[in-house]
Structure 1
């Protein structure tokens, strides 16, 4: 009888599943599905506009309080910025004309997937309690479902299509460092949340969605998700579980311990790697154009390198990657920060630029001469200087308007941002002079709908439009190099140049004082140059004359707050190829690579050093090519007839990367560190100068370091000691040999080796 009852229950369950399949049009899918395709990666010709989705515009009030959500956690008036306000994807769609008219060509939105949706309570010594929500999108819960406050998957697709049809690229925030807060630091670290979920799976292990792409209850248990990982019962080792970082400023501390009690993923665990790669590829398949990676400072670079390459290797070609490597100024992590893009392929939000800009134009604690020196130093230090995403404020820092309430230096900072090296990012509302109640980041996350009228006549709005147009039309801004022509405490004149194309910017940050600028040498042709801003910031024309065989910009006076932008934009012709930018800068053989510049059309040959690459398509401004099988750091050139272009650095990976966590016991002298060098390009090709970063040593004398190597590969390596002066000591004996995992998301630990003296 018991068996009969079980059979009847099973039959009923099958019938329910069949009925659900007809009702919801279930579609078992794999996340490797073909990408719908985007507009292409964000390039230095673009102007990015950062939107905290909940804080922009409410286009659909019906999703303000989703089913099961505590209505007391919704505000909607902009009064309590710790709560949800109602901004959503339909609201962004409604304001696309506003964005397009401003010259915005890419938007960066909050993480689109499901976040923790319960109250977060912070307790204070006086007995008061702050109630927070995860409106910002940085408390991941389920990467394969949408944040219902923003809309369903069909709403996300509608946003993508609306943006793309208006020539605007779509970048999403993506958190691969942590889930949500798993213990409450304000309540003696009592257990909280941090749990991670996934959709129902079919019999083949594929996630199941309805025809619109939303998860459904496939297994008939009344819910549309299943618990994947729980930091309070971490049976699969999904989380590091080492507690808060606190004041631990070691690399081990900020990479492996919790950031603000957020449950920190163990990115050395193959289960974690597989899940996060699937999640990112899932969103890539929805047609996004880029990912802003959260908290890259706190992530394992070996994971980041493989993660980024897995995304770019999925259908759809490479997309833009930049991340939040948060540093101060000065900061002992600067060297790690500046080399991160070259080591991982993920560029940086340019905190060095931000610090200098706010100090120079906001606090006036640094001079314009200091700012110019920063631009030259970082141009030399950054390998991909024009791919760094520059900004003067964002969601993690004080709004610039709070720092600088005077319009003239405020506008000067914006003008310099839009014409400097890098790819500019405008924080939502900067063009509307949003002024927060205080200097905190939460105060700056204002609800734009209740704080502004989306005025398209502000000076800042018009300034962004004019300089966005210039950035797209004159390659000197997007691809050029920087030269300081003149600088004092309060005045800066700098030049951006790409071959014969030039843009010269002259800025006076002082609002009420005028300064005379002397004659300046120039290579510009003789003539008169009009201010691109057409006097918007009090600018005027500039004259170039020839005196004694030398071309000079005649001396001029900058009035208070005056900004001039003078442009020379001759045609470079189509005969000579010139490279301005390459995306991505790192990839495995067989991946696509996009080469941007001028003169790239017609019959061209692309080479990685001396190895030819297959050209898929090309036009005067862009080449799509296939990365050849020639691992290592290579120089890309374009050959056209008798002309060879300038070169651009590219890192050809040895294959599909996996992680090997290398361990060794070794004693060192003060100032020495242990590094790994081996026969693979990823291990330096036996060149000590190209070895891995220093291994970490939380438990001296045992050192460890996750490294990226191609899967299923037997490789050779040795340990070396380096000191701060670059002196190298090799361990003795034969080369060590190890074989990497043969699955694409595999990870493995080596034995704990002993240093051989």
Structure 2
């Protein structure tokens, strides 16, 4: 058995921890430019889209896995469990410390059953030093259940009650309440009713009133706290239950990541099953990638039936296009529901993971957690509920660390430039093979007998190491060898196993993960589409275009743009670099009706690196009062834990209410920045204010500041605190 051990924090971690410390309770992070530069110079991250989901591992064990396995194998990221303080349930009806404790936040302090704030920060630093990004499972739709027994406390000792979470703080007015802004008695009775799904309580969990600016600011401050500690992205829990516009507003408040200086990666959990298009995954991709439940269920069906049916994936009704998918074979919810494969399925599960790493659909992930016999069972823990260190081979599954999976991570990295498969060969119902251009080939045998067959590999002639059975060594291969002649190879695939080769695994080659000094995990350009439009009451605005990321001109696969207010719609989509793209804006009804804007196709060419943005008006629309993107830049000196806001005379700036003021962020401290959509041709008055950790507000002195927004375009205010 292999035991995960803690690793010491490095120099980079001390720099980050010293500069990114924040007060508990979710205040915004101040990260100095010096710190960001130091961290960026010291860290080189793997150029990979593969994520290891180490669900409910403690922070020391995650750090050890990054150093000993994930980094050397070439994983691009590790996904970790929710790090905020949660309820502690030693005597629940579902047993001692059920796994779902961590999905019931009581505060945004980083004190959890997985470790302390310092241990979390050290884990992030250790993973970065191993070349691995860190994605956090973020719970921001709700707080702890209103039905928890009186006296229940959090892991940091925080007291709370239904609709009262003083450590954040949240009060009764910060939640959707039964009979008030929830149209039912509190529960969701109709899962196709968008108002119920987004404004009522999921499993009696206190549903946050994310329409409120003050609630959005507190959520954003929590996420920015994590970003300040080095977190690179988020798997966001229960996003279906947050209004898309609200979540877009929260994302707009987030800082860029510390190490790479990019927008944090976002993967949204949108449970499938809704017949209402507004509640299906495709409707959410304007805010980030989505988990593809249909893909995971389809893989289970194939591996429990005939894997030859995997040739039909292009015809499957998947949750979203590949470019917008965080792909999985299983996760913690689905494995307990029995609708996908899990470790309990033995070799079917292992082979399915090989396949998912080989097939070009979304960003693949490998899931590891603990064994269980009861669906609510806790991970291994001590007497106080704290999760103990992972020991592979016992009560913990460590598929991500096995030779075959690590070999397939390298395979996926090598094949990534080719996003298509070729020569999908069916030997029989349970033996298949295919290749990704001239870069990689795999054969899978899901039967009980070894099978020998000849396959077209796409590879140049020569010898290759089988990365399932071994790895490349200095003198040859530690496992099997495949010889390609004339582009073909005769291969014996063992029973219930696979053989896989790629161009970077040749005998005698020097093995190493692919690294990216620029730190860009996707080699894509974050492209922001903004359009001013006047859709009908039953219409949404989408962008569709000539490449798969924009739906390949298919309206059903177009990307929804999120309303920003003032007839403005916006979405950010990762596009390939140095690519000419044609596109148009369309209006789409829930019934599938499509209205195309008039005129010729629009076009853009993405740059080699960086980002790109376009701002247009929907052709044929007369757009009164289009929103103006107003940037506020204020030089303000603050003390530890103090934050800066802008407040003004219009609703978008809180209507002079400090509780609704717009938070500014200090990635370039002492300059605090925020961009707010304001109505055009409007006289704006505003001031800056500071908020202490205890909520005390200090207004700047002097008269109100003012400007008038232009009819179109943008506005920038650059000020110094008075």
CA distance, structure 1, for counterparts of residue 298 and residue 190 of structure 2 = 25
Instruction: Kindly provide the CA deviation profile for residues 436-459 of structure 1, in whole angstroms up to 9, marking residues without a partner as x.
Output: 325x36478897758755799989
163, 175, 187: which is aligned to 1:195?
A: 163
Give the 5 Å matches for 1:245-394. Answer: 245-312=188-255, 316-327=261-272, 332=275, 337=280, 339-340=282-283, 342-344=285-287, 346-361=288-303, 364=304, 366-374=305-313, 382=321, 384=323, 388-394=326-332
Corresponding residue number in structure 2 for 1:425: 365
The 1:264–1:622 alpha-carbon spacing in structure 2 relative to 1, beyond 3 Å, is same
Q: Is the 8 A contact 2:52 2:79 kept in 1?
A: yes
Corresponding residue number in structure 1 for 2:425: 486
The 1:374–1:274 alpha-carbon spacing in structure 2 relative to 1, beyond 3 Å, is same
CA distance, structure 1, for counterparts of residue 542 and residue 321 of structure 2 = 26
The 1:110–1:28 alpha-carbon spacing in structure 2 relative to 1, beyond 3 Å, is closer
CA distance, structure 2, for counterparts of residue 293 and residue 155 of structure 1 = 22
SS across alignment from 2:406: helix
Q: Is the 8 A contact 2:464 2:505 kept in 1?
A: no
The 1:274–1:396 alpha-carbon spacing in structure 2 relative to 1, beyond 3 Å, is same
The 1:194–1:524 alpha-carbon spacing in structure 2 relative to 1, beyond 3 Å, is same
Corresponding residue number in structure 1 for 2:87: 116
Q: Is the 8 A contact 1:538 1:562 kept in 2?
A: no
SS across alignment from 2:253: helix
Q: What residue ranges of structure 2 are gaps of 5+ in the alignment? A: 1-20, 150-159, 382-386, 472-476, 507-513, 571-584, 598-619, 628-650, 654-661, 664-675, 680-722
Instruction: Kindly provide the CA deviation profile for residues 154-187 of structure 1, in whole angstroms up to 9, marking residues without a partner as x.
Output: 33222222222333322211112111212479xx
Instruction: Kindly provide the CA deviation profile for residues 486-513 of structure 1, in whole angstroms up to 9, marking residues without a partner as x.
Output: 134212212224xxx4111110111x13
Instruction: Kindly provide the CA deviation profile for residues 520-554 of structure 1, in whole angstroms up to 9, marking residues without a partner as x.
Output: 4x5433344442234699985444444xxxxx524
SS across alignment from 2:336: coil
SS across alignment from 2:202: coil
**By how many angstroms is 1:342 displaced?**
3.8
Q: Is the 8 A contact 2:403 2:470 kept in 1?
A: no
Q: Is the 8 A contact 1:48 1:105 kept in 2?
A: yes
Q: What residue ranges of structure 1 are gaps of 5+ in the alignment? A: 1-23, 57-87, 123-128, 186-191, 199-224, 547-551, 572-597, 599-618, 626-635, 639-647, 665-673, 695-705, 750-757
CA distance, structure 2, for counterparts of residue 47 and residue 477 of structure 1 = 10
CA distance, structure 1, for counterparts of residue 180 and residue 110 of structure 2 = 22
509, 523, 528: which is aligned to 1:652?
A: 528
SS across alignment from 2:102: coil
Corresponding residue number in structure 1 for 2:408: 467
SS across alignment from 1:423: coil
CA distance, structure 1, for counterparts of residue 595 and residue 569 of structure 2 = 25
Q: Is the 8 A contact 1:712 1:742 kept in 2?
A: no
CA distance, structure 2, for counterparts of residue 523 and residue 108 of structure 1 = 33
Aligned residues: 534
CA distance, structure 2, for counterparts of residue 310 and residue 104 of structure 1 = 29
Instruction: Kindly provide the CA deviation profile for residues 242-300 of structure 1, in whole angstroms up to 9, marking residues without a partner as x.
Output: 41114433333323322111122222222222221222112211211111111122222
SS across alignment from 1:310: coil
Q: Is the 8 A contact 2:403 2:469 kept in 1?
A: no
Q: Is the 8 A contact 2:110 2:117 kept in 1?
A: yes
SS across alignment from 1:737: coil
Instruction: Kindly provide the CA deviation profile for residues 193-235 of structure 1, in whole angstroms up to 9, marking residues without a partner as x.
Output: 443546xxxxxxxxxxxxxxxxxxxxxxxxxx36422379979
**By how many angstroms is 1:309 displaced?**
3.4
What's the TM-score, normalizing by structure 1? 0.57
Matched, 1:170 2:140: no
Matched, 1:45 2:15: no
Give the 5 Å matches for 1:600-679. Answer: 622=518, 650-654=526-530, 674-676=538-540
The 1:383–1:305 alpha-carbon spacing in structure 2 relative to 1, beyond 3 Å, is farther
Matched, 1:89 2:31: no
The 1:542–1:249 alpha-carbon spacing in structure 2 relative to 1, beyond 3 Å, is same
Q: Is the 8 A contact 2:348 2:446 kept in 1?
A: yes
CA distance, structure 1, for counterparts of residue 212 and residue 526 of structure 2 = 29
CA distance, structure 2, for counterparts of residue 734 and residue 341 of structure 1 = 25
Corresponding residue number in structure 2 for 1:140: 105
Corresponding residue number in structure 1 for 2:474: none
The 1:286–1:650 alpha-carbon spacing in structure 2 relative to 1, beyond 3 Å, is closer
CA distance, structure 2, for counterparts of residue 675 and residue 662 of structure 1 = 6
The 1:460–1:273 alpha-carbon spacing in structure 2 relative to 1, beyond 3 Å, is closer
Matched, 1:31 2:28: yes
Q: State which structure, 1 or 2, has the greater radius of gyration over its C-alpha atoms.
A: 1
Corresponding residue number in structure 1 for 2:449: 513
SS across alignment from 2:332: coil
The 1:368–1:459 alpha-carbon spacing in structure 2 relative to 1, beyond 3 Å, is same
CA distance, structure 2, for counterparts of residue 303 and residue 678 of structure 1 = 18
**By how many angstroms is 1:338 displaced?**
5.1
SS across alignment from 1:253: helix
Q: Is the 8 A contact 1:306 1:708 kept in 2?
A: no
SS across alignment from 2:262: coil
Matched, 1:566 2:501: yes
The 1:388–1:690 alpha-carbon spacing in structure 2 relative to 1, beyond 3 Å, is closer
The 1:106–1:620 alpha-carbon spacing in structure 2 relative to 1, beyond 3 Å, is closer
The 1:233–1:159 alpha-carbon spacing in structure 2 relative to 1, beyond 3 Å, is closer
SS across alignment from 2:215: helix
Corresponding residue number in structure 1 for 2:172: 230
**By how many angstroms is 1:408 displaced?**
3.5
**By how many angstroms is 1:369 displaced?**
2.5
Q: Is the 8 A contact 2:127 2:134 kept in 1?
A: yes
489, 504, 523: which is aligned to 2:441?
A: 504
The 1:483–1:266 alpha-carbon spacing in structure 2 relative to 1, beyond 3 Å, is farther
**By how many angstroms is 1:115 displaced?**
2.0
Instruction: Kindly provide the CA deviation profile for residues 385-414 of structure 1, in whole angstroms up to 9, marking residues without a partner as x.
Output: 6x6243334355339998565644333223
CA distance, structure 2, for counterparts of residue 556 and residue 25 of structure 1 = 57
SS across alignment from 1:398: helix
| Superposition CA RMSD, Å | 5.5
CA distance, structure 2, for counterparts of residue 373 and residue 384 of structure 1 = 18
The 1:152–1:416 alpha-carbon spacing in structure 2 relative to 1, beyond 3 Å, is same
**By how many angstroms is 1:92 displaced?**
4.1
SS across alignment from 2:439: strand
SS across alignment from 2:624: strand
Corresponding residue number in structure 1 for 2:667: none
User: Which one scores higher on RCO, CA 8 angstroms, separation ≥ 6?
Assistant: 2
**By how many angstroms is 1:34 displaced?**
1.9
**By how many angstroms is 1:565 displaced?**
0.5
CA distance, structure 1, for counterparts of residue 211 and residue 227 of structure 2 = 23
Corresponding residue number in structure 1 for 2:632: none
SS across alignment from 1:228: coil
The 1:260–1:333 alpha-carbon spacing in structure 2 relative to 1, beyond 3 Å, is same
Corresponding residue number in structure 2 for 1:157: 121
